[in-house]
């Protein structure tokens, strides 16, 4: 991989981690069960994206 490609993957990992944290925080603060579940699903989806990008390294 080129250095530029590695920078792209590093950036994508950072974004996925940030979004996971944001969705986890939102899920913790929500009281509506449907919204809480949706936020948790989005956090899980971003964790999966993180894992997939990490696997490229």
Question: Taking 80 as the threshold, does the pLDDT of residue 57 lie above it?
Answer: no
DSSP per position, 1-57: --HHHHHHHHHHHHHHHHHHHHHHHHHHH--SHHHHHHHHHHHHHHHHHHHHHHTT-
Higher pLDDT, residue 57 or 26: 26
Is pTM beyond 0.75? Reply is yes
For residue range 1-43, what is the model confidence (pLDDT) as tens digits? 799 988 888 898 999 999 999 999 999 999 999 999 999 999 9
């Amino acid at each position: 991989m080129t250095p530029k490609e590695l920078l792209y993957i590093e950036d994508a990992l950072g974004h996925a981690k940030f979004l996971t944290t944001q969705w986890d925080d939102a899920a913790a603060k929500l009281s509506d069960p449907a919204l809480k579940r949706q936020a948790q699903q989005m956090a899980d989806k971003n964790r999966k994206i993180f894992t997939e990008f990490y696997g490229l390294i």
